[in-house]
């Protein structure tokens, strides 16, 4: 099973000192030490970007400190990092257009729309997106809340 971590899940993992986020860190630690050869936990580049830009913004406003960025860097080394490539962007463009034709866009027209890029990455590797907000992504790809994945 290939599990792609959405931005919201990554955000919780980058703030493990907050009591409400500790269970997510414990969950990930259990997956990382799993001996299941079919299990891959993936950090998609689009989610790294979305969280990283927000962390930089919060740090500049002195609402966060650099430890969160260091945790994100550490996750990038610990997990399988999935870069964005041409196939991903081409698939995302198709998903973007299809969602608009169906009257169900996931972001405003001028937005980059990270959800369709993440969905495209998941489709291309046959993965499931681990997210707390399944509304947009579940139209394109399999999704699960982290609490549904037990190892």
Q: What is the pLDDT along the chain (151 residues), one digit of tens a residue?
A: 999 999 999 999 998 778 889 999 999 999 999 888 999 999 999 999 999 999 999 999 998 889 999 999 999 999 999 999 999 999 999 999 999 999 988 888 877 789 999 999 999 999 999 998 888 789 999 999 999 998 6
Nearest to 43 by CA among 32, 56, 34, 58: 32
> Would you call 60 exposed, middle or buried from its count of C-beta atoms within 10 A (0-12, 13-18, 19+)?
exposed
How large is the C-alpha radius of gyration of the chain?
15
- What CATH number does the domain containing 75 carry? 3.40.50.1010
Flag whether 47 is in a domain: yes
Nearest to 149 by CA among 11, 9, 17: 9
Flag whether 102 is in a domain: no
Given this model, what pLDDT does residue 144 score? 96
Total structural domains within the chain: 1
Dihedral of the CA atoms 54, 120, 1, 151 (nearest 10)? 30
Q: Which residue has the tokens 């913004």?
A: 57
Given this model, what pLDDT does residue 68 score? 93
Nearest to 51 by CA among 71, 24, 30: 71
Flag whether 113 is in a domain: no
Given this model, what pLDDT does residue 104 score? 87
Flag whether 108 is in a domain: no
Rounded Cα–Cα distance for residues 138 and 41 (Å): 19
Flag whether 105 is in a domain: no
Flag whether 112 is in a domain: no
pTM tops 0.85: yes
Flag whether 140 is in a domain: yes
Domain carrying residue 11: 2-83+126-148
User: Which stretches of 55-140 are assigned E, i.e. beta strand?
Assistant: 80-82, 128-130
Flag whether 92 is in a domain: no
8 A C-beta contact, residue 51 and residue 7: yes
Cα-Cα-Cα-Cα dihedral sign, residues 107, 65, 4, 147: negative
């Amino acid at each position: 099973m290939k599990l792609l971590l959405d931005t919201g899940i990554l955000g919780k993992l980058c703030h493990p000192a907050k009591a409400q986020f500790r269970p997510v860190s414990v969950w990930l630690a259990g997956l990382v030490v799993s001996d299941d050869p079919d299990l891959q936990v993936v950090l998609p580049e689009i989610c790294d970007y979305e969280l990283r830009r927000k962390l930089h913004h919060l740090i500049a406003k002195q609402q966060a400190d650099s430890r969160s960025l260091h945790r994100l860097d550490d996750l990038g080394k610990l997990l399988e990092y999935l870069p964005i490539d041409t196939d991903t962007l081409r698939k995302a463009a198709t998903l973007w257009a299809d969602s608009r034709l169906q009257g169900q866009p996931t972001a405003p027209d001028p937005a980059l729309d990270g959800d369709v890029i993440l969905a495209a990455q998941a489709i291309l590797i046959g993965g499931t997106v681990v997210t707390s907000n399944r509304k947009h992504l579940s139209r394109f790809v399999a999704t699960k809340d982290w609490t549904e994945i037990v190892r």
